[in-house]
Amino acid sequence: MLKGKTALVTGSTSGIGLGIALTLARQGADIVLNGFGDHAGPKAEVEALGVKVGYHGADMSKPAEIEAMMAYIDQQFGGCDILVNNAGIQHVANVDEFPPEKWDAILAINLSSAFHTMRLALPGMKKKQWGRVINIASTHGLVASAGKSAYVAAKHGLVGLTKAAALETATLPVTVNAICPGWVLTPLVQKQIDARSEKDKLDPAEAKRQLLAEKQPSLQFTTPEELGALAVFLCSDAAVNVRGQAWAMDGGWTAQ
């Protein structure tokens, strides 16, 4: 279904981003990976699906590096047809104890990076008369939790950016949407489970159970594969009139 399209998935060396990259590759899309840590393993995993794969190590908090990555995609892949803004970080502390440099980093990586990739990718999408932007927000783009001010502010901002860009492209075959996952068991969430386990002296399985029970009525983690399947739907022709949505996949979290 996506043969001939190129997808950039930011923050795709791990977790949700890698899951979405693999799902899009199974539909035939060429993939550009991005993110820190080992990239050879994820690259080989996607390559095994028979598509063209690139990697760019841009730090998503640095606009000049984002510009270099988008130029690399234009040169090596003929542009970015599917843009998945997924890179993100978390830090948990109350506002009056929140380190200002963490605030700046979360806003830069979780929100501003999507503005930069979008401003650079949208002209090519308009020219080619096809494009899909999928912003990975969070339930925290819709509701808040204590201790996550920067993350909640950035994700609410990302949902707002999604809506504004969707209106600007409303008459074009270019759609802009957000996906709002609930808990997904990735390294980002494992750190929060470990912190809970240490703080409350719980065994890891009990810490995991309590984390889910507090917010996610299904008591099950959403998986990267399920999120990938939603991304594939948003890329399909059937989804051409889904615009400016913040689509939750959260086991009922935001239904409460």
Active-site positions read 151
Residue keyed to tokens 């002296």: 201
When the beta carbons of 144 and 189 are compared against ligand NAD, the nearer one is 189
Residues 123/128/130/134 CA torsion (nearest 10 deg): -40
Return the range that interacts with ligand NAD (CB under 6 A); candidates 21-29, 71-79, 118-126, 184-192: 184-192
Identify which of 241, 237, 225, 235 has the alpha carbon closest to the alpha carbon of residue 82. 235
Return the range that interacts with ligand NAD (CB under 6 A); candidates 13-21, 163-171, 194-202, 210-218: 13-21
**Shortest distance in whole angstroms from residue 204 CB to ligand NAD:** 16
Written as six digits, the tokens of 21 are: 């990259």
**Helix (H) or strand (E) run with residue 82 in it:** strand 82-85
Instruction: Annotate each residue in 62-101 with x if it binds ligand NAD (CB under 6 A) or - if it does not, as one string.
Output: ------------------------xxxx------------
When the beta carbons of 189 and 202 are compared against ligand NAD, the nearer one is 189
Return the residue of 27, 61, 175, 216 that touches ligand NAD, per CB under 6 A.
Answer: 61
**Shortest distance in whole angstroms from residue 83 CB to ligand NAD:** 14
Return the residue of 28, 45, 52, 59 that touches ligand NAD, per CB under 6 A.
Answer: 59
Residue 109 DSSP class: I
Q: Given strand 6-9, what is the order of strands in its sheet?
A: 53-56, 30-34, 6-9, 82-85, 131-136, 174-181, 246-249
Q: Is 249 in the site for ligand NAD (CB under 6 A)?
A: no
* Class of residue 127 by CB neighbours under 10 A (exposed 0-12, middle 13-18, buried 19+): exposed
Binding site for ligand NAD (CB under 6 A): 11-17, 34-37, 59-61, 86-89, 109-110, 136, 138, 181, 183-184, 186-189
